[in-house]
């Protein structure tokens, strides 16, 4: 892959990742949060399931493997996205994106505790920088908001899903895993919406446009672009640029929602971005050297 194509795809996919927080915030006046999340991933999951069926991608043949996809979807889609959508009721898109994208830092901690993985000193330095950034960003809050808890929980669930996908991902076709974990997660979110909230969705041009953007661009196209990059370039080099996603989250929150750029957010965000970069830097070679 030439450098221009690599950079273009990298910017598009990380922009779609980061900007989805602001788009979700724009959609919340039209829908209850869990229902909006459910509709997003049911639509995306159904579309991708049709695609993988038409393309005859290999599907799981045992109940145990289907259950593994369900468990990944429970954490990756239902847990992560449910918490993100709930967080955006009370905190800004900028704050939610920064908290959510601390997940690579938590992966290092959890992998060390639960899988006895070993990481290099600079990666632990990245974890420390990231945690300092979280304290700076959130420590400046005058008013405690429940959205901060949901934002952090989204990172926790994402880290757990990452470890599960790393352990079981080799058992599945990448596109099949993505399609059905989104679909299963979306159905769980729909159940959560019925049980935990009073679901509503106001149907108009704006709400449908937001839903389609989240389902197609922020889910299917974002996923396809990101995994194309991982498969056709050095995964360690590509993952190092994940720090661009929260940057775009803050930027689009400012542009689309007129969210203020407080100094604590900028300074804390810089620490977190630096930490994410260090954790992911040369991750592939580090993993080969240490496992």
Closest Cα partner for 21 from 247, 271, 198, 190? 247
pLDDT tens series, the chain, 291 aa: 677 888 888 889 989 998 999 999 999 999 999 999 999 999 999 999 999 999 999 999 999 999 999 999 999 999 999 999 999 998 888 888 888 888 877 888 888 888 777 778 888 888 888 778 777 766 655 456 788 889 989 999 988 988 888 888 889 998 999 999 999 999 999 999 999 999 999 999 999 999 999 999 999 998 888 878 877 776 556 666 777 788 888 889 889 999 887 777 778 778 877 877 787 765 444 444 443
- The structural domain count of the chain equals 1
pLDDT at 120: 81
DSSP at 201: B
Report the predicted TM-score, pTM, of the whole model to 2 decimal places: 0.84
Domain that holds residue 29: 3-290
Specify burial of residue 254 (Cβ count, 10 A radius: 0-12, 13-18, 19+): middle
Instruction: Give the N- to C-terminal CA distance of the chain in Å, as an integer.
Output: 28
Which tens digits make up the pLDDT trace of 99-142? Answer: 888 887 788 888 888 877 777 888 888 888 877 877 776 665 54
């Amino acid at each position: 892959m030439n450098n221009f194509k690599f950079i273009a795809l990298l910017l598009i996919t990380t922009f779609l990742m980061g900007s989805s927080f602001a788009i979700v915030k724009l959609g919340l006046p039209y829908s209850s949060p869990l229902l909006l999340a459910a509709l997003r991933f049911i639509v995306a999951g159904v579309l991708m399931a049709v695609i993988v069926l038409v393309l005859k991608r290999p599907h799981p043949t045992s109940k145990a493997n289907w259950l593994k996809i369900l468990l990944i979807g429970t954490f990756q889609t239902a847990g992560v996205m449910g918490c993100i959508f709930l967080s955006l009721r009370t905190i800004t898109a900028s704050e939610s994106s920064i908290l959510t994208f601390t997940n690579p830092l938590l992966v290092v901690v959890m992998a060390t505790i639960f899988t006895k993985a070993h990481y290099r000193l600079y990666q632990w330095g990245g974890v420390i920088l990231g945690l300092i950034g979280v304290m700076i960003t959130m420590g400046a809050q005058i008013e405690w908001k429940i959205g901060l808890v949901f934002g952090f929980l989204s990172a926790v669930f994402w880290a757990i899903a990452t470890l599960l996908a790393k352990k079981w991902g080799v058992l599945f076709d990448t596109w099949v895993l993505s399609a059905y974990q989104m679909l299963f997660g979306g159905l769980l979110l729909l159940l959560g919406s019925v049980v935990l909230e009073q679901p509503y969705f106001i149907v108009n041009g704006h709400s449908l446009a937001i839903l389609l953007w989240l389902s197609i661009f922020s889910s299917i196209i974002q996923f396809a672009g990101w995994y194309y990059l991982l498969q056709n370039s050095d995964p360690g080099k590509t993952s190092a640029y994940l720090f661009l996603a929260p940057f775009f989250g803050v930027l689009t929150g400012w542009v689309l929602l007129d969210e203020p750029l407080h100094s604590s957010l900028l300074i804390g965000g810089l620490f977190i971005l630096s930490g994410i970069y260090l954790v992911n830097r040369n991750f592939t070679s580090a993993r080969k050297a240490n496992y």
